[in-house]
Structure 1
Amino acid sequence: MSKKKVVSIEDRIPKLKQARKKKANRRLIFYLSIFFVLISIIVYLQSPLSHIKTINVTGNSFLKDEEVIEQSELTTQTNIWTIDKSNITTTLADNPIIESAEVKRNFPWAVDIQLTEYDRVGYVKEENSFYPILGNGTTLNEIEQESINGDAPLIVDFTEEEYLHRMTKELQELPETILNLISEIHWKPTDENQNEILLYMNDGFLVNGTIRNFADKMQVYPSIVSQLDPESEGIIHIGVGAYFESFDDEGEEEEQENE
């Protein structure tokens, strides 16, 4: 019959003390680690290590990077964690050229500013120079050109700002494929219709229309032209209904009246 080994309490006490000591040491290391991590975070936030080093601007055609960065009020002394993205986007959107803006942190030290500018929808002429005009009616007087290359229509005789803004808003909504077909837009107000306009098209046709709902009504233009003889000359009406009036018909009517 085997005898059970009896361990006295005196033999177990050192082992218990050793286990408690190890547990206490692990707990101390854990707390010290947290402490040093917190200290490191505080030092990082207060040091140049947390400052912005790079500001990337994209989506800008009319504005220079430096102008956007200056307006955002971001600098290389700005803490990347303290930037107010909402406030920056609101500030940038106050610029008449900018339709919207988005700000993102790109860790560890960069900030990205993504812009959406209003589209250039035409040009206005002052004396012998041409200036781009945007979809919200803003004329870029700082961008002076001696000529235009046909990438947007020339907007002529809009002497009242209200009607100019209405026109540019409609052009902003017009598909680029149709916008590129327009050579010139002339404001031709009458007593009956202050919104009347006359368009000179790059394909040689004239278009009589109205500013009101112009973007929607102009959608039919390619369809109408596709049914016409390219050699025919006349004016396309897109006001009330849409139809083509040939200049030859007018000549025949005048001859009949003379007879």
Structure 2
Amino acid sequence: MGNDKIVTLEDRMPSLKEQRKRKANRRLLFFLVMFFLLLLVIVYFQSPLSQIRTIEVQGSYIASEEEIIEASGLKQGDHIWNLNAEEIEASIQTLPEIKGATIDRQLPSTVVLHIEEHPRVAYLFKQDKFYPMMANGLFLNELERQEYPSDAPIIMGLDEGELLTEFAAELSLLPEQISERISQVFYNGGDNEPNEITLYMTDGIEVRSFIHNFSEWMVPYPSIAQEIDREQNGVLHMKMSPYFEQFDLEEDVEIEGEG
């Protein structure tokens, strides 16, 4: 046999060279892409593009955007990646209206502050003014003269203190279907019942209950209210064992006539 019939492996497999070449090209392309990406990142961090241009506030209804941004300490021109999120969130939560806050960076230069506020659970009526009260027991500035609250119960006769703070917490625990049916709350506690209250409901029922465990006592109210005849004059006692106390109007009239 002659040497002229001997062929190399690469001659017998001509595609092997091409495969090795393509593999080398892909490797080179990968390193080039990584190099340019790294270069872009360096340029971005060193350029004004990485500075805050816009600060947005979402979820605030009671506190103003200006108050929240000022409390955060954020300013346009700050580096968007050089932020202490935990410190900023804690600073925002020093505002009495704010329950929680989180920071969201949106490239290239926007910071969004997501706000969760304490719910407004009632209004304290004092000296002919309405003071919004939140679930944490804190108060906001009084409403404008022309404003009349309709989105939460109005509390009368109860001074600021432990009972009012406790009642605010109890109101915050109520299901919305119950709290939205409370129109007015009058404090009529005495020596025997220091935390007794009277509620006037939007469905026309007068309710007596206690501040202590109020949210627990009121849970069955919707089902009980359905069974009460609106033509009856009386008071629904929402306590450990709810009952309806009916007033005898005829007897009341006779007593008045005798006087």
Structure 1 and Structure 2 fold alike (TM over 0.5): yes
Match of 1:231 in 2: 231
Match of 2:21 in 1: none
Q: 2-side partners of 1:245 and 1:32: how far apart?
A: 85
Q: Please list the CA deviations of residues 149-169 of structure 1 after superposition, one character each: whole Å capped at 9, or x if unmatched.
A: 432111111124111110111
CA drift at 1:81: 0.8
Q: 2-side partners of 1:90 and 1:150: how far apart?
A: 32
Aligned residues with identical type, % of pairs: 40
Equivalent residue runs for 1:93-172 within 5 Å: 93-141=93-141, 143-172=143-172
Q: 1-side partners of 2:250 and 2:227: how far apart?
A: 20
Contact kept? 1:182, 1:199, Cα under 8 Å: yes
Q: Quick check: 153-162 or 126-135, which moved more?
A: 126-135
Question: Aligned letter for 1:131?
Answer: Y
Q: Please list the CA deviations of residues 2-37 of structure 1 after superposition, one character each: whole Å capped at 9, or x if unmatched.
A: 4469xxxxxxxxxxxxxxxxxxxx999998987776
Contact kept? 1:85, 1:104, Cα under 8 Å: no
Q: Tell me which stretches of 4 or more aligned residues in structure 1 moved more than 6 Å.
A: 26-36
Contact kept? 1:55, 1:112, Cα under 8 Å: yes
Q: 2-side partners of 1:33 and 1:227: how far apart?
A: 74
Give unpaired runs (5+ residues) of structure 1.
Answer: 6-25
Q: 1-side partners of 2:141 and 2:150: how far apart?
A: 19
Q: 1:139 to 1:146 in 2, by over 3 A?
A: farther
Match of 2:72 in 1: 72
Contact kept? 1:131, 1:145, Cα under 8 Å: no
Q: 1:154 to 1:139 in 2, by over 3 A?
A: same
Match of 1:89 in 2: 89
Contact kept? 1:57, 1:115, Cα under 8 Å: yes
Question: Aligned letter for 2:49?
Answer: L
Give unpaired runs (5+ residues) of structure 2.
Answer: 6-25
Q: What is the SS of the residue equivalent to 1:90?
A: helix
Match of 1:9 in 2: none
CA drift at 1:240: 3.2
Match of 1:188 in 2: 188
- TM-score, length-normalised on structure 2? 0.80
Question: Aligned letter for 1:214?
Answer: F
Match of 2:12 in 1: none
Aligned residues: 239
